[in-house]
A and B are shown apart, each in its own frame.
Chain A
Amino acid sequence: MKLKLATLALGAVMAAAPALADLVIPSLSYRTGPYAPNGIPVADGFADYLTLLNERDGGIGGVPIRMIECETGYNTEKGVECYESTKGEGSLVYSPLSTGITYQLIPKASADGIPVHSMGYGRTSAANGKVFEWVFNHPATYWDGASIAIKHIMEQEGGDISGKKIALVYHNSAYGKEPIRTLEELAKKHGYELTLLPVDHPGQEQKSQWLQIRRERPDYVLMWGWGVMNQVAIQEAANIRFPMDHFIGVWWSGSENDTLPAGAGADGYKALALANPGTNYPLFDELKTYVYDKGLSAGAGDQHGYVLYNRGVYQAMLTTEAVRKAQEIHGVADITPAMMRDGLEALEITEERMAELGLPEFGPAFSLSCENHGGSGLAKIQQWDAGSKTWSVVTDWIASDRSIIDPLIAEDSQAYAAENGIEERCN
C-alpha cells in the first residue's frame, strides 16, 4: 500500500512539475476559419524549422525546443486566451500572427515581461524600443512597406510621381488602416493624389471599389488585404483589365494563395517581399533530410517553399537566432523571457550568418538595438508569373524613406508613452 501511495505521489509530482530545461516557443497559429489557407503555411514553416533544429542539433545550445501550438482562428479573443494559457509554461517570445492580437498583447506582455515579435505586422511604432521595451516588429513595418511601394512606383515613373493618382484598397481593420498616415505624408512630399478604398471583412464582394477604380483610373493601386479579399481584388482587377504590373500588394497580399485563383488574369501582379520565395537554398536540403523524409513535416507537408511557408521559416530563424544570442550574452543555455528580450535587442543578422544557416541572401542583413526594434526597413518587390505559377523577385532590397517614417514612429510612440505613463529608456 505504501509503495502504491509513494508511486502515485511521485507520479503526481512528475505530472505537476514543469518540464525542465527546454526552450518554450509558442506558436499562435490559425489552421481553421476563413484565414486558415494563409495561417497553415506560416505555421508549418515555423514548426518545420524548429523541428529541424531539434532533430539535427538537439535544439539550441544543447537545450531542446518545445513548441506549443495554440489555435487562434485569427480571432483576437482566442489569441489572448492562447497567450494567457501558455505564458505560464515559460514561453520565451510570442509571435501573434495577427495585428489585432498583437495590439491586445502589447500591454499584457509588457506587464508580464515577455517579448512579442510581430514580424512585419502589428503596431508600427513599436519599432521604437525606447518606448516599447518588450515589443519587436523587425525586419520591416507597414510604414516601411508603404514607403517602399511608393519608392518602387517612383522608380517606374522615372523619379517623379507628382500629379499621379494612387489608390489604396485596404482591409477595413486596424491592419488595413496602418499605411494610410504614411501614404498621406508621402503624398504631401511627392505630390501624388491618394484615394482610399476600404473593403469590409471578409471582402468577398468588391464590385463597388473596382467600379470606382475603373471610373477614376488611378495610375497605381496598392493593396493591404488578407484572406479572400486578396483573391477577389486580384480577380476584379483582372476583370476591369487594370494593368497588373501597376497593382502592388503588401507582403500579406503576395502569396500563391492570392494569385492562383485568378489564373492567367493575375499575371504581372506585384507584391512586397520580406524574404525570398522558393526552395533553392541549402537549408531546404537539411529540412528534407531531417524533417520531410522522416515524416516529421508539420501539417500535411504540402506547403514547402511557398511564400507564406518561407515566411514561417524566416520567422523561426529570426526567433531562434535571438535565442542563440541570448544564450551567448548570458552564458546560460536555458534562458528566461527577460534574457530573450536581451537576445532580440542584440540580434545581428549578417550575410555570413544567413549563409551559415543555409539561407544565403534569403532576407535582409540587419541588426537591432535598444532603440531600434524595427530592423532595417528593407523589402523587395516580387512579381507573379501566371505561366509558371511562381513568384520572382524583380528588385534588390529597397529602403524606406526614413525622413518620413522616423518622425511618424517618434510621434506615435511618444503619444503611447504619454498615455501609458512610460518613461523612455536606452538613454
Chain B
Amino acid sequence: MPDQLLYAIEVTLNGLMAGVLYSLVALGFVLIFKASGIFNYAQGVMALFSAMTLVGIMDGQVPFSHLINAIFGTDIHHFGWHVPAIVAILLTAVVMTAFAWAVNQVIFKHLVNQEPIILFMATIGLAYFLEGFGDLMWGSDIKSLDVGLPQGGSFWIEENTAWLGGEGFYGFFIDQLDMVATVVAVILVAVLVAFSQYTKQGRALRAVADDHQAALSVGISLSYIWVLVWSIAGFVALVAGIMWGTKSGVQFSLSLIALKALPVLMLGGFTSIPGAIVGGLIVGVGEKLFEFLVGPMIGGATENWFAYVLALIFLVFRPQGLFGERIIERV
C-alpha cells in the first residue's frame, strides 16, 4: 500500500479516537439538555472542577488552604496522605453528586418553568462561579494527574503494522490513552443506555425528558430527577476530566474543552446520546483528515474552525442534528 494512503488511515484512526474524547464532553451536555432542556454552559468547567477535586483528594491537598492560611496565619497545605486513584474517583463522584444537589437547591429549584434563555444564563453564572470556587478550593497551579492510565504510542501496533508500507512508513501510531478513552466511552454509553432502559430511575428520567408535566402528574419528582441527571453529568465530566487532564495536566484550560463539544452537539443533536458519539467521531475524523489533506496547502491550524464549518453544513440540512428529535409545533 502507498505510504500516503497508510498515513491517511492513521490520521483517520487518530481522528476517530480524538472524536471519542470530544464525545465524552458532549455527552454531559446531552444528558442535561435531554432531561431538563437546559444547555449547560458550565459542563466544561464541571470537567475542570471534577479533575481538580480528584487530584486534590489523591494528593491529600487541604481544600481552601490558601484562604485558611491567609485568614488564620497558618501554613497548612497537605494532610500528608495519598489516596488510591479508585477511592479518589469514588469520592470525587460523591462530591459531584453533592454539587448536583446544591445546584438544584440553590439555582434550578427556583427557576422551574422559566424560559430556556434564563436557564442558560443561570448556567453561565454557574460556570464563572465554579471557576473561581475551584481556584479558591484547590489553587490555580497546573496539577499532574496520574490515575495509572498508559500514555504514548503503542509499540506493539507500530511494530506489527510497519511492514504494511515502504521505508517511509513507521507503522501506525495509536496513543494508548486514546485506546483507553475509547473503551471507557463505550462502557459509559452502554451503562447509560442500560440505566435509562432498564432501571426505574432511568424510565423516570426518560419520562421527564419526554414531557415533564406528564411525568409530574404521575408522581415523578422533578427535583429528584434533576439532581440525578446533574450527578450523572458530573460523573461524565469527571471521566472527560480524567482523560483530558492526563494529557495536559489539570489546569484552567481544561474548561475550554467545551469548545470542542459544541460542533459535536450541532452535528449529533442536543438530545441524542448516540448522536453525541457519532457526532464526535465525524468531527474528529473530519477535522483531522482536512488538516492532513488540505491544511498544508493553506497554512495549517484548520482544526478549530473546520469542526464548526462541518457542523454548520450539517445544521443547514438537518437543524435538529443527525439524531436530534425533529421539532414539530402544531397550531
Q: B7 contacts which chain A residues (CB < 8 A)? A: 211, 215
- In the bound complex, what is the Cα–Cα distance between A227 and B252 (angstroms)? 10
Say if the beta carbon of A40 comes within 8 Å of chain B: yes
Say if the beta carbon of A426 comes within 8 Å of chain B: no
A sample of 30 inter-chain contacts (CB < 8 A) reads A31-B140, A32-B132, A34-B251, A34-B252, A36-B135, A36-B252, A37-B141, A202-B256, A204-B244, A204-B256, A205-B18, A207-B288, A208-B295, A211-B7, A211-B10, A212-B292, A214-B173, A215-B168, A215-B170, A228-B249, A231-B142, A235-B151, A238-B152, A240-B173, A260-B144, A260-B249, A261-B145, A263-B144, A265-B152, A300-B66
Which B-chain residue is minimally distant from A214 (CB atoms)?
Answer: B173
Which A-chain residue is minimally distant from B256 (CB atoms)?
Answer: A202
Number of B positions contacting A (CB below 8 A): 47
- In the bound complex, what is the Cα–Cα distance between A401 and B318 (angstroms)? 57
The stretch among B26-34, B221-229, B300-308 that forms the contact with chain A is B300-308
Q: A261 contacts which chain B residues (CB < 8 A)? A: 142-145, 248-249
Q: Most B CB atoms within 10 A — which of A34, A37, A197?
A: A37
- In the bound complex, what is the Cα–Cα distance between A196 and B244 (angstroms)? 26
Structural contact, A239 and B175, CB atoms closer than 8 A: yes
Structural contact, A37 and B301, CB atoms closer than 8 A: no
Q: B321 contacts which chain A residues (CB < 8 A)? A: none
Structural contact, B251 and A198, CB atoms closer than 8 A: no
Q: A263 contacts which chain B residues (CB < 8 A)? A: 144, 146
Q: Mark A255-283, 1 if CB is under 8 A from B, else 0.
A: 00100110101000000000000000000
Say if the beta carbon of B14 comes within 8 Å of chain A: yes
Q: A32-B140, A34-B256, A202-B253 are in contact. List 8 more A-B contacts (CB 8 A).
A: A200-B304, A204-B260, A208-B287, A211-B173, A235-B247, A239-B175, A302-B77, A302-B141
Structural contact, B253 and A208, CB atoms closer than 8 A: no
Say if the beta carbon of B148 comes within 8 Å of chain A: no
Structural contact, B153 and A240, CB atoms closer than 8 A: yes
Which A-chain residue is minimally distant from B131 (CB atoms)?
Answer: A32
Which residues of A170-208 are within 8 A (CB) of B?
172, 196-200, 202, 204-205, 207-208
- In the bound complex, what is the Cα–Cα distance between A32 and B251 (angstroms)? 11
Say if the beta carbon of A2 comes within 8 Å of chain B: no
Structural contact, B140 and A40, CB atoms closer than 8 A: yes
Which A-chain residue is minimally distant from B4 (CB atoms)?
Answer: A215
Which A-chain residue is minimally distant from B66 (CB atoms)?
Answer: A300
Which A-chain residue is minimally distant from B289 (CB atoms)?
Answer: A208
A255 CB, min distance to chain B CBs, angstroms: 10
Q: Most B CB atoms within 10 A — which of A36, A204, A240, A263?
A: A204
- In the bound complex, what is the Cα–Cα distance between A124 and B303 (angstroms)? 29
Structural contact, B303 and A208, CB atoms closer than 8 A: yes
Q: Of the candidates A196, A231, A239, which one forms a contact with B153 in the assembled complex, judged by CB atoms under 8 Å apart?
A: A239
Say if the beta carbon of A158 comes within 8 Å of chain B: no
Q: Of the candidates B140, B151, B252, B304, which one forms a contact with A239 in the assembled complex, judged by CB atoms under 8 Å apart?
A: B151
- In the bound complex, what is the Cα–Cα distance between A32 and B254 (angstroms)? 14
A332 CB, min distance to chain B CBs, angstroms: 38
B186 CB, min distance to chain A CBs, angstroms: 20
Q: A205-B18, A232-B248, A235-B247 are in contact. Are A197 and B303 (CB under 8 A)?
A: no
Structural contact, B144 and A208, CB atoms closer than 8 A: no
B8 CB, min distance to chain A CBs, angstroms: 11
Q: A196-B300, A260-B144 are in contact. Are A228 and B253 (CB under 8 A)?
A: yes
Which B-chain residue is minimally distant from A239 (CB atoms)?
Answer: B152
Q: Most B CB atoms within 10 A — which of A199, A239, A241?
A: A239
Q: B151 contacts which chain A residues (CB < 8 A)? A: 235, 238-239, 265
A225 CB, min distance to chain B CBs, angstroms: 12
Q: Of the candidates A33, A34, A207, A215, which one forms a contact with B18 in the assembled complex, judged by CB atoms under 8 Å apart?
A: A207
Structural contact, A208 and B152, CB atoms closer than 8 A: no
- In the bound complex, what is the Cα–Cα distance between A231 and B254 (angstroms)? 12
Say if the beta carbon of A295 comes within 8 Å of chain B: yes
Say if the beta carbon of B234 comes within 8 Å of chain A: no
Q: B73 contacts which chain A residues (CB < 8 A)? A: 295
Say if the beta carbon of B291 comes within 8 Å of chain A: yes
Q: A227 contacts which chain B residues (CB < 8 A)? A: 253
Say if the beta carbon of B139 comes within 8 Å of chain A: yes
A36 CB, min distance to chain B CBs, angstroms: 5
Q: Of the candidates B18, B170, B300, B301, which one forms a contact with A214 in the assembled complex, judged by CB atoms under 8 Å apart?
A: B170
Q: Most A CB atoms within 10 A — which of B140, B153, B249?
A: B249
Which residues of B19-76 are within 8 A (CB) of A?
66, 69, 73
- In the bound complex, what is the Cα–Cα distance between A40 and B140 (angstroms)? 9
Q: Most A CB atoms within 10 A — which of B145, B153, B248, B251?
A: B248
B215 CB, min distance to chain A CBs, angstroms: 38
Q: A40 contacts which chain B residues (CB < 8 A)? A: 140-141
- In the bound complex, what is the Cα–Cα distance between A215 and B248 (angstroms)? 23
Structural contact, A300 and B139, CB atoms closer than 8 A: yes
Say if the beta carbon of B282 comes within 8 Å of chain A: no
- In the bound complex, what is the Cα–Cα distance between A228 and B142 (angstroms)? 9
Structural contact, B144 and A204, CB atoms closer than 8 A: no
Say if the beta carbon of B11 comes within 8 Å of chain A: yes
- In the bound complex, what is the Cα–Cα distance between A202 and B256 (angstroms)? 8
- In the bound complex, what is the Cα–Cα distance between A207 and B260 (angstroms)? 14
Which A-chain residue is minimally distant from B18 (CB atoms)?
Answer: A207
